[in-house]
Every structure is written in C-alpha cells, then in structure tokens.
C-alpha cells in the first residue's frame, strides 16, 4: 500500500478504538446504567472532529476526486456509496452530539437516544471501514500511479496543516483512553 492509503488505514484503526468505546457506552446506557456526561461529550467530539472533519474530509477532498479523475465512477460506483455513508454518518453524529448535550442537561431520555443512534453509527462505520480497507483502497492501489498518489499526499499535507499541531495525537490519545474506560468487542487490544 502506498503512503496515503496507509495513513487512512491507520486512522481507521484509531476510529475503531473509538467505536469499541462507543459500543461500551451504548451497553451501559441500554442496560439502564448511567455514564458520566463527559464521556458522551468526548465521544461525540471524537466522532465529529476526528472521524469526520479530519478523516472523512481528507478522503472527500483529496482521495475521492483523484480516484474519479482516474476512472473510478462517483455515480453508481464505490465513491458514491462512500459519500452517501459519510453523509449518513454526519447526520448520526449531529444527533449524538444533541443527545450528549441533552444528557448533560439532565434529560434521562437523552441517554437512550444517544445509545440508539450510537449503535446505528457503530454498525455503519464498521461496515464502511471494511469496504474502504478491502475494496476502495485496493482499487486506489491498482488504478493510481505514483503521480496521482503524490497529488493525494500533497492534499493530505495541506489538510493536516489546517489543524493545530498535535491534533491527531490528541485524538489518538482520547480514543485510546475511551477504549480503556468503555471499550468492548472482539477487537479489543490488550494494552
């Protein structure tokens, strides 16, 4: 795999840590237990800022257009599916953020709402990551030449410069901490 694809796949592993934590939070809330409001707020922040504004935005602005320029169709093809799933995820992310704010304000029903949307989001993103890792990124590796990958790499550098120094590292640490505190699942690491 070329460097830009490795970067995206590494970010997927960070997102999966967050998803394991999200699953644990959902378990707690679905069983009638309470969770600290900050845990829901941090999870909503991670999903919105790292998974979407940092990761998905790079794919949409830099990888997907280069793939389309190199013959991968947007309409009726894998790019259209990925873009649709990104948009669905954004809607779910906004709903989780609202629910986390309502939960912090003391609305007990908001925990149920967060858990319901969180479950759907986790399922969507796990499937999405599998499609990207095992289909879309393999397509990229086969259709993009070194020049095209250079264009993607340059775009990723520009995108990363838009975030403050240490942004990615802070969110990697947040995902790891949330996973340690709340994480569940067969992919749980023994760190």
Question: In sequence order, what DSSP letters do the residues of 50-95 get, joined into one string?
Answer: IIIIIIIHHIIIIIHHHHHHTT--STTSHHHHHHHHHHHHHHHHHH
In a domain, 191, yes or no: no
Q: Which two tokens stand for residue 161?
A: 């410069």
Domain that holds residue 131: 3-182
**Residue 23's domain is classified under what CATH number?**
1.20.120.520
Please tell me whether residue 187 adopts helix, strand or coil conformation: coil
Q: In the numeric block, which tokens belong to residue 186?
A: 């067969």
pLDDT at site 189: 40
Say how many Å lie between the first and final Cα of the chain, rounded: 26
Please tell me the distance from the alpha carbon of residue 33 to that of residue 27, in angstroms, as a whole number. 9
**What is the total count of domains within the chain?**
1
Q: Are 3 and 153 in contact (CB under 8 A)?
A: yes
> What pLDDT is stored for residue 185 in this prediction?
59
pLDDT tens string, the chain, 191 residues long: the values are 899 999 999 999 999 999 999 999 999 999 999 899 999 999 999 999 999 999 999 999 999 999 999 999 999 899 999 999 999 999 999 999 999 999 999 998 999 999 999 999 999 999 999 999 999 999 999 999 999 999 999 999 999 999 988 999 999 999 999 999 998 754 444 33
């Amino acid at each position: 795999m070329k460097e830009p694809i490795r970067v995206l796949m590494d970010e997927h592993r960070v997102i999966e840590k967050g998803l394991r934590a999200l699953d644990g939070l959902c378990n707690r809330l679905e069983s009638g237990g309470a969770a600290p409001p900050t845990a829901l707020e941090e999870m909503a922040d991670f999903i919105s800022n790292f998974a979407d504004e940092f990761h998905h935005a790079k794919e949409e602005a830099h990888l997907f257009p280069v793939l389309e320029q190199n013959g991968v169709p947007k309409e009726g093809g894998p790019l259209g599916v990925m873009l649709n799933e990104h948009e669905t995820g954004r809607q779910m992310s906004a709903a989780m953020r609202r629910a986390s704010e309502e939960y912090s304000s003391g609305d007990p029903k908001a925990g149920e709402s967060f858990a319901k949307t969180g479950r759907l989001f986790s399922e969507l993103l796990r499937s999405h990551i599998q499609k990207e890792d095992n289909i879309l990124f393999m397509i990229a590796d086969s259709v993009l030449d070194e020049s095209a990958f250079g264009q993607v790499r340059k775009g990723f550098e520009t995108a990363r410069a838009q975030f403050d120094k240490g942004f990615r590292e802070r969110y990697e640490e947040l995902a790891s901490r949330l996973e340690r505190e709340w994480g569940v699942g067969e992919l749980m690491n023994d760190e």
